[in-house]
Amino acid sequence: MTPTTASAKATRTKGTTTSASKNQNPLHTPIIAWYEANQRDLPWREPGCPAWHILISEIMLQQTPVVRVLPIWREWVERWPTPADLAQASPADIIRAWGRLGYPRRALRLHAAAQAIVEKHNGEVPSDHAELLALPGIGSYTAAAVASFAFGQRHAVLDTNVRRVFARTVTGIEYPPTAVTAAETKLATELLPEQRAHVWAVAVMELGALVCTARSPKCAECPVSQQCAWRLAGSPPHTGPARKGQAWAGTDRQIRGALMAALRSSKEPLSHPQLVIEVPDSALRDPNQRSRCLSGLIEDGLVEPLPGDHYQLPA
């Protein structure tokens, strides 16, 4: 099933006004108007974009910038335009096609979701929120996002950007809690407009991505700066646990990435000595790090061990 033309056009049309609603909030009109004038031209927001392609984008965009996702997304939707196409692909091909997007388990989750869609939903992405949530690897955020953006439904879509916008504009704090709380979910649900809730969801997300950013918010460009509780309180600094930037050099993430890169680039299984060359001792933080990371990749189903201490991507 693909999104209706009317729903898709509602997301893309610029210069329209928000429908009157009994659930109107002062934030709704300025944020939606800002979005309709400033939204990025992204292919998964185009009218008629299939729900399957939107689902792929949502999985790829988790913890990954748009600029890195765009070329890989285009390759995927051209190569595997339907769930049935991806369901028939081998895990090795899928992992290779995932490239260096990071967190490659997401590729295997997409594969499992595609197989479930074929087996249980006749190859069509379900529109029902509960059925989306029941798909392998689909969490509460992704189910709400696909139901909203692909099918124009009314759901609270809480990603990092949305949570930050709500934390500042409504709660009056610089950053939201580390994990989503019941209070945040309740607030997001209460803020949903009765009409065009799917447009509101993507508009708040875009505001957080482009204006209400984590490190350098552009308050002078914000359409609701005069209503922002955090700004009106004098932009008080964060008082919760210290927000640490993600390290990279020498971390398990880097070592796992190097091991995966070596296996992706090889047409033949690699021996343990060959993997040692790819990830030398000088790159490690401790002597057991390489083995620990390799074991973790095997447990995650991303690497298949073979006799003779050889390894390959899963067949």
- Active-site residues, by number, are 58
Structure tokens that stand for 222 in this block: 């914000």
Torsion angles phi and psi, residue 261, rounded to 5: -60, -40
- CB crowding 201-214: b at 16 or more within 10 Å, else e: bbbbbbbbbbbbee
Distance CA 17, CA 36 (A): 9
Structure tokens that stand for 86 in this block: 């991806």
Exposed, middle or buried, 280 (CB in 10 Å: 0-12/13-18/19+)?
exposed
Q: What three-state secondary structure class fits 312?
A: strand
Distance CA 117, CA 173 (A): 41
Distance CA 269, CA 161 (A): 41
Task: Cite the beta strand spans of 190-283 per DSSP E.
Answer: 270-271
- Count of beta carbons in the 10 Å neighbourhood of residue 182: 7
Distance CA 263, CA 240 (A): 41
Nearest Cα residue to 231 out of 169, 188, 187: 169
Angstrom distances, CA of residue 228 to CA of 137, 173, 189, 208: 35, 10, 19, 13
Strand 270-271, strand 310-312: pairing: antiparallel
Task: Cite the beta strand spans of the chain per DSSP E.
Answer: 270-271, 304-306, 310-312
